[in-house]
Amino acid sequence: MEKEEVLSLSPMQLDALREIGNIGAGNAATALSQIINRKIDMSVPRLNILPLSEVPDVVGGADTMVAGVYLRVFGPAPSSILFLLPRDSAFSLVDMAMGRDNGTTDVLNAMDESALMEIGNILAGSFLNALSYFTKMTLLPSLPALAMDMAGAILSVILIQLGQVGDYALVIETEFATEANDVRGHFFLIPDPGSLGVILNTLGVNE
Amino acid sequence: MPELIKVGMADLKAGKAPDSIISYGLGSCVGIALYDPQTKVGGLAHIMLPDSTQARATDNTAKFADTALPVLLDQVIALGGSRSRLTAKIAGGSQMFSFAQATDVMRIGDRNVEAVRTVLKALAIRLVAEDVGGNYGRTVELLLDSGAFVIKTVNKGENRL
C-alpha cells in the first residue's frame, strides 16, 4: 500500500509548513490582541502528525468541554479551520470582547455566540491572509459555525473527513494565552486530503 | 474489581460482566453496543465512516460500519456470547455544526446511522434501541452487568437505553 502523504514529508517540507503556521498564527494572535485589547502570548506552532484518534488529546481528551468555531476554507486548497477554547476561556473571552467584568458570563446568549463566531472569523481571516500571501492562492473562509460541546465530538467533524483517506492527521496547531492566562485556546489548520500537496507545490517544496 | 474498558475513535473492544465499556465524546461517529444478556458478554465499537468500499485507507477495520461489526461480533462470540441472543443498541450520528448549505460531508452522521442499521440487518442482529441524531456530543457506556447502554450529554442530560 502507498505510504500516507503526511508520513512521507521531508524535513524541508515540514519546515516550510511550520513557518507558514508561524506567520499565520502570528497574524491571528495580533488580531485577537486588538479585539480584546490585551497582550497575547503565542507558542511556536507545533506541526503534529498524529493518529486520528489521538487528536482530541491535544486539547485535553475527547470529553473535555470546549467551545469550537469551525470554518471551511474554499479555494485551490480546501481546508478546515477550527478554533477551540476550553469553556471557561470562551466565557472570559466573551466578557473581554463585550466589555464586561471577567467572570460575568456563565452561559452564552445569542449575542455572545455571535461575538465568539466573529472572533473566530477574524482569526481565520488573518491566518488565511498570511497563507494566501505565501502561496499566491486565493483562500476564502466560509461563515463561521459555533458549537459548545465535548472536544471529541467537535473534532470528529474534521477527523471523519481525513479518515476517508488515511489514519493520520497533519495538525498545525498554536496555543495562545493572555498574560493573566484567563483565555487559552488552540487554533487548528487541517488541510483536506489532497490540499497538502497543493500547498507544498505553491511553496516550491514539493519534489 | 470491575474494570472500565476504554474504546477510542475508530476502535472496538469486547468484555464481560462486571466490567463496562466506555467511549468518550462521539459526534458524527456512531457507538454500537452488542450484548448477550444470558452470559453478560458484550462489545462496543466506535465507528467513524459508513463504508470501507468508498475509502482509500482501510487498514483499520474498526473505522467503518461495514467492517467493524463483523470483527466486533467475532470478539463477542469468542468471549462466550451467543449470536442468536445478541441484541444491538446504537447512539451518536449527530451533526455538530449546521451551515446554510449542508453538504454530504456535513450529513455524515445520518449516513453513519443508516449504514449501521443496514449492516446490523444483514448480520441478523436485532436493533433494540437507539439515541441518534441531533447536534450534540455523546459519551456512551455499556454496562455489562445489566446490558444498559448509558448516554451522557452536556445539555440533554443522561439517557439509559
pLDDT 10s digits, B1-21: 889 999 999 999 999 999 999
Q: Residue range A138-146: average pLDDT?
A: 92
ipTM (interface predicted TM): 0.88
Extents of the domains making up chain B: 4-145
Report which of residues A89 and B88 the model is more confident about: B88
Contact B55 A1 (CB under 8 A): no
Q: What is the pTM of this model?
A: 0.88
Q: Which of B12, B22, B26, B29 is catalytic?
A: B29
Q: What is the 3-state secondary structure (H, E, C) of chain B?
A: CCCEEECCCCEEEEEECCCEEEEEEECCCEEEEEEECCCCEEEEEEECECCHHHCCCCCCHHHEHHHHHHHHHHHHHHCCCCHHHCEEEEEECCCCCCCCCCCCCCCHHHHHHHHHHHHHHHCCCEEEEEEECCCCCEEEEEECCCCCEEEECCCCCEEEC
pLDDT in tens, A59-80: 889 999 999 999 999 999 999 8
What is the full per-residue pLDDT of chain B (161 aa) written as tens digits?
A: 889 999 999 999 999 999 999 999 999 999 999 999 999 999 999 999 999 988 877 788 999 999 999 999 999 999 999 999 999 999 999 999 876 555 666 689 999 999 999 999 999 999 999 999 999 999 999 999 999 999 999 988 999 99
Please tell me the distance in Å from B82's CA to the nearest CA on chain A.
Answer: 31
A7 CB contacts (<8 Å, ≥6 apart)? A49, A168
Query: What is the residue type of A78?
Result: P
- Burial class of residue A142 in the structure, from the number of CB atoms within 10 Å of its CB (0-12 exposed, 13-18 middle, 19+ buried): middle
Contact B154 A152 (CB under 8 A): no
Three-state DSSP state, A4: coil
How many independent structural domains does chain A possess?
1
Query: What is the residue type of A8?
Result: S
Report helix, strand and coil shares of chain A as percent, to nearest 5: 45, 25, 30
B4-145: CATH, from 3.50.30.10, 2.60.120.860, 3.30.1330.200, 3.40.630.10: 3.30.1330.200
Which strands form B126-132's sheet, in the order they lie side by side?
B11-16, B41-47, B30-36, B87-92, B126-132
CATH of the domain at A108: 3.40.1550.10
Residue A1: the pLDDT is 39
pLDDT in tens, A149-185: 999 999 998 888 888 888 888 887 777 788 877 788 8
- Tell me which residue range forms the domain holding A75: 3-203
Residue A189: the pLDDT is 84
The pLDDT of residue A197 is above 90:
no
Please tell me the distance in Å from B6's CA to the nearest CA on chain A.
Answer: 12
Q: How many CB atoms lie within 10 A of CB B45?
A: 32
Q: Which residue of A has its CA nearest to B106?
A: A157
Q: Report chain B's terminal Cα–Cα distance, integer Å.
A: 24
Contact A149 B48 (CB under 8 A): no
